C-alpha cells in the first residue's frame, strides 16, 4: 500500500536528540497538526472535539532503511541488549511508521495554517509527515490490566536539573517548563555515563549540558 501524507506536525524539535521517548511523557510539549490542502476540510474533523485524545500514525522519516534488521538496542537498556524489533517502539522497523497518542487541545479553523489541531504531549520531530489521525477510544484502547515489559521499568526515572536562572530566562516563559521536563527525562543515550558536554536543540536555542551523577547541569543557552 502506498501511504499518502495527509498532514504534518509543527513541534519545538528540529533534531531527534532531546525528544521524549514516548508521547505523553512531557504533557507541556505542544504541537500543531497542519492538514495538507486536500484534507483541510472542516467536515473531516466534525465531532473530533468530543474526544480528549487522538492517535497519530506518522512517518519515522529520519529512520528509513533498505534492509531488515530483526533486533534493535533500546537506549534505556544501556544500548547493549538486543530486543526484537516487534517487541520495541524503535523507529528502525520494516515499515518505519510510528504511533503516538496526544491530547487534543483545540481545533483551529481559518488561522494562517488553514485547518489545524493543537495537541499536547508530543514526541515528534518538527515537520513529521502524518498519515492518519484516529480518535482514542477508551473502551478499546485503554487496557488497565496491560503489563509493559522492560520499556515500563524506567518511567519513574528522573534527573535533577540544575538550570541557572540567568540561562533559563533566555528561553520564553511558556517554553521553560517543557524544556526542564525533557532534561529531567535524560536525553542521553543510556550507555554514556561520563561528563561530556551535550548540545540539545530546542526551538531556536542550543542548550548545552553535562550530567554528574543524578544531576543534569545546564552550562549554556544560545539563541541560534
Write out the residues near its own copies by the rule CB under 8 A: 1-4, 6, 22-25, 38-39, 41, 43-48, 50-53, 55, 57, 59, 68, 70-71, 82-89, 93-97, 99-101, 131-152, 155
Nearest residue (CB) to its own copies, 48 versus 197: 48
Nearest residue (CB) to its own copies, 131 versus 217: 131
Question: Buried b / exposed e across 125-151, counting CB within 10 Å, b at 16+?
Answer: bbebbbeebeebeeeeeeeeeeeeeeb
* Torsion angle in degrees (nearest 10) through CA of 71, 72, 77, 83: -20
Instruction: Please report how close the Cβ of residue 189 comes to its own copies at its closest, in angstroms.
Output: 19
Distance separating alpha carbons of residues 48 and 55, to the nearest angstrom: 12
Nearest residue (CB) to its own copies, 117 versus 171: 117
In DSSP notation, 26-50 reads STT-EEEEEE-GGG--GGGGTTGGG
Nearest residue (CB) to its own copies, 41 versus 197: 41
Nearest residue (CB) to its own copies, 45 versus 221: 45
- To which H or E segment does residue 141 belong? helix 138-141
- Which residues, 6+ apart, have CB-to-CB distance to 23 below 8 Å? 100, 101, 102, 121, 122, 123
Among candidates 112, 107, 115, 128, which has minimal Cα distance to 39?
115
Phi-psi region of 186 (alpha: psi -120 to 50; beta: other; left: phi over 0): left
Nearest residue (CB) to its own copies, 11 versus 101: 101
- Which residues, 6+ apart, have CB-to-CB distance to 129 below 8 Å? 5, 7, 8, 58, 59, 61
Nearest residue (CB) to its own copies, 149 versus 172: 149
Three cell numbers, residue 44: 473531516
Instruction: Please report how close the Cβ of residue 157 comes to its own copies at its closest, in angstroms.
Output: 11
Instruction: Please report how close the Cβ of residue 187 comes to its own copies at its closest, in angstroms.
Output: 17
Amino acid at each position: 500500500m502506498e501511504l499518502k501524507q495527509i498532514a504534518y506536525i509543527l513541534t519545538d524539535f528540529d533534531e531527534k536528540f532531546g525528544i521524549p521517548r514516548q508521547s505523553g511523557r512531557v504533557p507541556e510539549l505542544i504541537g500543531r497538526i497542519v492538514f495538507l490542502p486536500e484534507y483541510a476540510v472542516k467536515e473531516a474533523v466534525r465531532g473530533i472535539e468530543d474526544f480528549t485524545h487522538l492517535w497519530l500514525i506518522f512517518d519515522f522519516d529520519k529512520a528509513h532503511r533498505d534492509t531488515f534488521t530483526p533486533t534493535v538496542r533500546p537506549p534505556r537498556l544501556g544500548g547493549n541488549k538486543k530486543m526484537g524489533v516487534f517487541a520495541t517502539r524503535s523507529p528502525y522497523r520494516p515499515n518505519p511508521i510510528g504511533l503516538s497518542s496526544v491530547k487534543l487541545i483545540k481545533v483551529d479553523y481559518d488561522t494562517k495554517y488553514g485547518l489545524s489541531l493543537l495537541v499536547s504531549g508530543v514526541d515528534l520531530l518538527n515537520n513529521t509527515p502524518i498519515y492518519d489521525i484516529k480518535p482514542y477510544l477508551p473502551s478499546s484502547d485503554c487496557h488497565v490490566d496491560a503489563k509493559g515489559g522492560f520499556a515500563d521499568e524506567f518511567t519513574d526515572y528522573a534527573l535533577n536539573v540544575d538550570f541557572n536562572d540567568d540561562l533559563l530566562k533566555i528561553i520564553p516563559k511558556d517554553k521553560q517548563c517543557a524544556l526542564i521536563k525533557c532534561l529531567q527525562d535524560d536525553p542521553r543515550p543510556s550507555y554514556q555515563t561520563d561528563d561530556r558536554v551535550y548540545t540539545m536543540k530546542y526551538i531556536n536555542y542550543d542548550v548545552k549540558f553535562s550530567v554528574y551523577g543524578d544531576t543534569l547541569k545546564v552550562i549554556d543557552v544560545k539563541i541560534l
